[in-house]
A and B are shown apart, each in its own frame.
Chain A
Amino acid sequence: MRLAPLTSKDSTLVFRALLQAFAFPGRVAQLPPHLVARMPALSLPLLALTDIETSFCAPDEPELEGEIATITSARISNSRDAQFVMHRDVPSREFVIGLGRGTSFRPELGARMVLAWNAPFDANIEVGLGGPGVVPGSSLRVGHDLVEFLAVRAEVNAQPPAGIDCWLVSTNGEVVGLPRTTQIQMQPTSATAGRN
């Protein structure tokens, strides 16, 4: 087993990092390094946030999915009903479109997605960020595959307050929050593939 239950203190530390990431979209927060050293950073948000009353899925990480369910007692569900979704690879357009978005009256039912973020290793595109909590001029470096995901994300968040919230988590525990309120503008920079 690669995962272990979080103590309430560690759980709080993870929660604070995720909260910080959502409070300042685009700004990199750090998951607790001592936890990142022990287990996959991608799994930490689910270990901290899921419990017996929540549903989740991790379709491309079945082993971790089973471990998280055992540790947290959270229910494994299909992606449409999952409150939390963990994905190692960038998910397909159909997958994202099919996630629960909640409704105008129950926006809290929208899925929260934890997605692996490979920056800065293959991030060669810089996108601009806007919306509540975003410091003006903020940007985020992402890879080509994530750009496609961000476009689909914009589609599913087109009818606020329904939508999905995302955390991008790197292997070394860096986390960037992209709540549904954050708008993303594609912008060419010196680091983009087009310039290079």
Chain B
Amino acid sequence: MGYVSARGGLDAIRAAESLVRTKRLVSESNWLEEDQILDKLRLLVDRVMSEAGLWDPRLASKAIRQSEGDATEAVHLLRAYRSTLPRFAYSEAIDADDATVMRRIVPAFQRVPGNQLLGRSVDYTARFLERTGDDDAREEAEKLRAAQTEESRDIEPASEEIAPRRLMELLREMDMLVDRRLEDDPEPFDITRTPARPPAPRSALLSSMARADTGALVNQWYRNILGPDGYLHEVTLGEVRHANMPLNVRHPVTGETVTIMQVRVSEVEAIEDLEGVEEDRSRFDVGYGLCFGHNERKAIAMANLDIACHRDAGRTQLEQSLLLTTDALDSAGFLEHLKLPHYVTFRSMIERKIAVRKARQRRDA
């Protein structure tokens, strides 16, 4: 975690805190309900939960309200809160195929095992800003609600739509994938307990990216994909999923595995064309991305960077960059600490300048 503490005039600090709180609570507009944030700003809620590393939509909406919509500040609030929570149990490893899919697209193949399920997406929508009046929008909402109730009676998704077979299985059957599966099953690296430093196991890299700032990860991906670092990738997405995934723990008394809740995740498998001299050019490799909530942008960047990092094998600073510079709290914390008093530091810098100048004057005299 980065820099958070402040010292200084206590009264001034308290007054600043009071101003923030008063302006937030006392305003002319209606009280912003948690349900509204959950429902109307769902993607922001998902992003904050993902970057905070805490699945709790209601707490995330509280944090968004308290932070007045500042996603990084909301992440900070949730991380701080999370750090006070006790751990009661460890979750069991789960098979991603146990997830219930709400959206699943396979850009690589038109006809895939299972169906393409577009679900809730604006991927094919022209971006026109809706300037409909509020009354008209409410009227439309009523009509849609009525129509939705009618439609929902008939819809019963087929099992192959809920848990479709993966494209990767098909590619494996075609012997088109390199097999990087390991014989051993090491414990995953816990980035909440120990900071990950390169060289780090893949679980540390994946955990760090799953919790990373979305913008930072997309930036890393774009830099990597465009080639200023010497790479030019041929990237195709195998699976892009938005799904409900069970969270299982072992019951402390019976020892049985029980599902205690469901979390929504975005999951991506990215197919990478191998063309390196030492690589198997007759096959593809796969990168994996998974993060909390509906955040396909982040999961896609993560999957591509996972395989990019594997292929990079420590030749560049990619791994270091991913592990050390993509955390929202670290980077924003370091940046924002610059606003805190640096009187002593700067005074010291001035004195060094004066000393250099005096030395130069003595030399020139």
Name A residues whose Cβ lies closer than 8 Å to a Cβ of B: 8, 11-12, 15, 48-53, 72-73
- In the complex, which range does the number of interface residues on chain B fall in? 10 to 19
A107 to B193, CA, bound (A): 15
B85 in contact with A8 (CB, 8 Å): yes
* Residue in A15, A48, A52 whose beta carbon sits within 8 Å of that of B88 in the complex: A52
Q: Give how many A-B residue pairs fall within 8 Å (CB-CB).
A: 26
Q: Which of B82-141 contact A (CB under 8 A)?
A: 84-90
In the bound complex, CA of A53 to CA of B190 (Å): 12
**Which residue on B lies nearest to A72, using beta carbons?**
B86
Closest A residue by C-beta to B86: A51
Alpha-carbon distance between A72 and B87 when the two chains are bound, in angstroms: 8
Q: Is B3 an interface residue (CB 8 A)?
A: no
Interchain CB contact under 8 A, A11 and B85: yes
A-B contact pairs, 19 of them (CB 8 A): A8-B85, A11-B84, A11-B85, A11-B86, A12-B81, A12-B84, A48-B86, A49-B86, A51-B87, A51-B88, A52-B87, A52-B88, A52-B89, A53-B87, A53-B193, A72-B86, A72-B88, A73-B88, A73-B252
Cβ distance B86 to chain A, nearest Cβ, rounded Å: 3
Set of chain A residues within 8 Å of B87, measured between Cβ atoms: 51-53, 73
| Contact status A52-B90, CB under 8 Å | yes
State the CA gap A53–B90 with chains docked (Å).
10
Is B89 a contact partner of A73 (Cβ separation < 8 A)?
A: yes
Complex Cα gap A11–B81 (Å)? 11
Complex: how many Å from CA A73 to CA B86? 10
Contact with A along B165-205 (1 / 0, CB 8 A): 00000000000000000000000000001000000000000
In angstroms, Cα B85 to Cα A129, docked, is 31
B85 — which chain A residues lie within 8 A by C-beta?
8, 11
List residues of chain A with CB within 8 A of the CB of B89.
Answer: 52, 73
- Name the residue on A nearest B190 (C-beta): A53
In the assembled complex, which residues on chain A have CB atoms less than 8 Å from the CB atom of B252? Answer: 73
Q: Which residue of B lies closest to A70 (CB)?
A: B252
Q: Which residues of A contact B193 (CB under 8 A)?
A: 53
Q: What's the Cα separation between A51 and B90 when bound, in Å?
A: 11
Give complex CA distance A72, B88 in Å.
7
- The answer for the CA separation of A53 and B87 in the assembled complex, in Å, is 7
Contact of A50 among B84, B86, B90 (CB under 8 A): B86
Complex formed: what's the CA distance from A48 to B84 in Å?
8
